[in-house]
Amino acid sequence: MRTAGLTMNDVWAHRVLRERGVETYRLEGVPAELGVMVESLDLKHRGKEENYRPYLHMTGELRSVTPAKALPFGISQVTYSPGQGEKVDAFYEFDDQQLVVLASKGYFTSGFAVPEQVTGIEWELPATADMLVLAPSGAQTEGDTPVVFTQIHDIGGLEIDLESAGYDLTGYFADHSRDGVPRAEAVVDAHGLKARSDAINSLFTEDELGLDTEVKQIVGASVPEAAPVANGMSARLQQIEAEIAAERVQYQTERASTEGTTENLYRERVAAALQTAEEQEEPFAPPVPVREAQRDLELEEKETRRREVKPAPSLDERKRQVSQHAADLDFSEDGEQSLGP
């Protein structure tokens, strides 16, 4: 018996599983044949690690599920209306012998293509399915049939080949070994290349690259003399030295204008006197202001050292100094009295 099917993700499937007192049959991992309406078939290739091995990518719509054994209540097939079935993606792998056949039919030529007669028809593909069968009502009135929910394993990535599917797809490919040209030559023709005298096919022509013009320009142009690297380094060093000298002059100027610094004392007392002596044209006469400035500096340094070295007087010393000062005062008063009439 054939019956219309529903997918397992249908909302009624969940309600049936939750309903109590309803007679159901749940089957898992059932081998089955899928009826798939093939919509497209593309020739693709694996990655570099698999040496770009070719395979076929098939897409279509699920139209029927035929279990290997009949389901409860004599169900032999579950069908789907057009547009109601799930989308199916299958990948057909060629074995080594099939690849040899494809190569002999001109696989490496530009005219090689997938045959069109394999699309638009229903294919039978092997698969595994889970099924949920809802028994008819207890009255079993005339026309009352069970409901079947199905779920196909790996429906988005079925792996098939000659052994599992039973289809040798190499027989559908036309022979393009004579009417096509090798793909490498087709690429060369597409670029409009010409063979050189040394039998080497260049990817670009000389006109496209403009080699003659460029070579003439390069040969005819005079080669400019490259400036030595040492000159560039020398210029950079001179620039750095000038910047350092400018910073040094600015620092000395700031020190000379700051009161109390050595540079300021030199400018105010020494440099000014030297400049005055030069203006008076007395280079051999020792300038008096210079000696005075030097004496002042020496006195200032001695006073500073004395303050730093001389320790503070002790308490006994201070008492002795006070007593001595009082005695001096008494002596002064007696002297004044003795000088009276």
Would you list the DSSP string of 53-121?
-EEEEEEEEEEEEEESSPBGGGB-EEE--TTTSPEEEEEEEP-HHHHHHHHHTTTTBTT----GGGSSS
- In-domain check, residue 192: no
Classify residue 192 by burial, with Cβ atoms within 10 Å: 0-12, 13-18, 19+: exposed
**Residue 288 backbone class (left: φ over 0; alpha: ψ -120 to 50; beta: rest):** alpha
Residue 180 shares a structural domain with residue 238:
no
Residue 73 shares a structural domain with residue 164:
yes
Total length of the chain: 341
pLDDT at 61: 95
The continuous run of DSSP H or E covering 338 comes out as helix 315-338
Residue 14 shares a structural domain with residue 112:
yes
C-beta atoms surrounding 197 within 10 Å: 5
Residue 179 shares a structural domain with residue 237:
no
- In-domain check, residue 53: yes
Of the two residues 339 and 41, the one the predictor is more confident about is 41
pLDDT at 3: 84
Instruction: Transcribe 303-315 into DSSP letters.
Output: HHHHHHHSPPP-H
Residue 84 shares a structural domain with residue 10:
yes
In the chain, the number of structural domains is 2
Share of the chain above pLDDT 90, in %: 24
The predicted model gives 86-115 an average pLDDT of 90
Q: Rounded to whole angstroms, how far apart are CA atoms 115 and 107?
A: 13
- In-domain check, residue 320: no
Contact 280, 294 (CB under 8 A): no
Q: Which pTM was predicted?
A: 0.50
- In-domain check, residue 218: no
- In-domain check, residue 95: yes
The predicted model gives 132-141 an average pLDDT of 69
Q: What is the pLDDT of residues 183-216, one digit of tens each?
A: 444 444 444 444 444 444 555 555 655 555 555 5
Residue 150 shares a structural domain with residue 93:
yes
- In-domain check, residue 202: no
- Structural domain including 171 reads 2-185
C-beta atoms surrounding 27 within 10 Å: 16
Chain mean pLDDT for the chain: 75
- In-domain check, residue 217: no
Q: What is the pLDDT of residues 283-320, one digit of tens each?
A: 555 555 556 666 777 777 777 666 655 566 666 777 77
Q: What is the pLDDT of residues 238-289, one digit of tens each?
A: 888 888 888 888 888 887 778 777 777 777 777 777 777 666 655 555 555 5
Residue 251 shares a structural domain with residue 150:
no
Please determine, for residue 333, whether its predicted confidence score (pLDDT) is greater than 70: no
pLDDT at 25: 84
- In-domain check, residue 61: yes
pLDDT at 225: 54
Contact 5, 150 (CB under 8 A): yes
Going by pLDDT thresholds of 50, 70 and 90, the confidence category of residue 176 is confident
Q: Rounded to whole angstroms, how far apart are CA atoms 42 and 6?
A: 29
Residue 126 shares a structural domain with residue 66:
yes
Residue 176 shares a structural domain with residue 233:
no
Encoded tokens for 274: 């030297």
Residue 71 shares a structural domain with residue 164:
yes
pLDDT at 135: 79
C-beta atoms surrounding 62 within 10 Å: 24
Of the two residues 336 and 18, the one the predictor is more confident about is 18
C-beta atoms surrounding 71 within 10 Å: 20
